[in-house]
Amino acid sequence: MKIGSILENQQYEKRISVTPDVIKKYISLGCQISLSKNYGLHLGIKDSEYADLGVKLIDDDNEILTSSDLILQMEMLSDEKSSLLRENQTVIGVLNPYENKENLENLAKKKINLFSLELLPRITRAQSMDILSSQANLAGYKAVIESFTNFEKAIPMMMTAAGTIPAAKVLVVGAGVAGLQAIATAKRMGAIVFATDVRMASKEQVESLGGKFLTVEGSENLETEGGYAKEASEDFKKKQEELLSETLKKIDIVICTALIPGKKAPIIIKDNMINNMQAGSVIYDLAAIQGGNTSLTVVNKIIDKNGVKIMGESNILNKLPVSASNLYAKNMYNFVQNLFDKENKKININLEDEIINKTLIK
């Protein structure tokens, strides 16, 4: 079976889907691998590293796409590249089915097999393939580092002969994978950490990391069967707003991570709350690309509102592309292995397998 992968648009995406670590594993399955020339050069991976492992490096991306049985990508192929795909080819990636619904349906009608990894079910067997967790983990860590870089005070408490510098107070909004990693990172760096989430199951996780969980009075457990957050009621939103309004007056740094799959990010931090924050505070909005958890968030810009900095990037993992690619490539290999019929050396789309059934675009 021929596996191919081409470079993403470097302007938006620096991660890659195939790293040298996984090449031998694919070859042991009986696969041949073709990659774009200079595929990993921007990450410090020379073509010779791939070539020495048996990879074929090709100048022409179109040749890779038309000759491969299985195409591994980070993001959805462009319309131009998608038009080259043929019946019975298989594409695996983060295809963003909510935004690319029409394009994906048209490709599926052409009998192209499309698997979108963000649709993986949250079951034990899928953990090694869970790209949302591996990437969100890094995003939560990096969001803390970026916000601390833009915060003009020390983070840990420091006692000196000249006086004591108090520890920075951090609030993490949303205690999913990214939020929990943000809590752990901020705590390790000496901050006092608070967190809030609509899912009550998060309380124990937050407290195990040394954070203080802020509970909305009369909280309802807003968690889907798949473990994701669902939209809160108006009553809950009002109570959460009152709690946050008071809390934010004393907070130095806010990390926003609240997302609802397939929907615009909920506005949690309102203008009046930001107006009451201390000058010099920083808000890092990981939900920026889906509209943001503040009404002032602008993607890839730092907004200064009365001395409060509000920031969020279209792809924070472009600042950690080596680590992110290494994890993504391993998630991808584990998914392919589950999809692969070793005896017949081909893809086996077994719809009785929950992992395959949930990720296949039908």
Q: Which residues are catalytic?
A: 122, 127, 130, 133, 228
Residues 165 and 267: their CA atoms lie apart, in Å, by 33
Residues 124 and 286: their CA atoms lie apart, in Å, by 26
Q: How many helices (H) and strands (E) does the chain have?
A: 12, 17
Q: Which two tokens stand for residue 51?
A: 């070539």
Q: Give the Cα-Cα-Cα angle 341, 346, 348 (nearest 5 degrees).
A: 55
State whether the Cα torsion 336-42-94-317 is positive or negative: positive
Q: Which two tokens stand for residue 275?
A: 């107006």
Is there a contact between 138 and 161 (Cβ–Cβ < 8 Å)? no
Residue 56 DSSP class: E
Residues 66 and 86: their CA atoms lie apart, in Å, by 7
Output helix, strand, coil percentages for the chain, rounded to the nearest 5. Answer: 40, 20, 45
